[in-house]
Every structure is written in structure tokens, then in C-alpha cells.
């Protein structure tokens, strides 16, 4: 698995994922908030399966 999620994309995924999980844990939103696990994990791993399938990458190009 080569990384296909770049810096800003990773930060946004981690923040949104953590916020959704926190909102679900505090009861602010329903159980659907735990879907935040998906962006949190893809942000932490730096790899996104749909990006890989579509050949898309937000990582900077290495020369």
C-alpha cells in the first residue's frame, strides 16, 4: 500500500473523524457518528482504498 493521502487531506480526515467520534460518544449525534472511524483511520494510515481504485492521490510528487 503506497500512501495516496497527502498532508492537508490527512489533517482534515483526522480532525473530522475525531470530531464525529467525539460527537457520537457524547450523544450529540446518533450512532451514525461512529462512521468517523473511517476518515480517522484513512488519515492515520495515509492510504484510502477509493483513491487507490480510482488512481487518485493527494500526496506531493516525489522527484
Q: What residue ranges do the domains of the chain occupy?
A: 7-54
The CA–CA distances, whole Å, from 29 to 21, 23, 26, 44 equal: 9, 6, 8, 23
Say what the pTM is. 0.88
User: Within 10 A of 1 (CB to CB), how many other CB atoms are there?
Assistant: 9
- Return per-residue pLDDT of the chain as tens, 63 residues: 889 999 999 999 999 999 999 999 999 999 999 999 999 999 999 999 999 999 999 998 765
Amino acid at each position: 500500500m503506497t500512501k495516496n493521502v497527502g498532508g492537508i487531506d490527512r489533517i482534515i480526515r483526522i480532525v473530522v473523524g475525531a470530531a464525529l467520534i467525539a460527537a457520537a460518544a457524547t450523544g450529540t449525534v446518533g450512532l451514525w457518528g461512529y462512521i468517523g472511524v473511517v476518515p480517522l483511520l484513512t488519515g492515520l494510515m495515509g492510504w484510502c482504498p477509493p483513491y487507490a481504485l480510482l488512481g487518485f492521490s493527494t500526496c506531493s510528487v516525489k522527484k
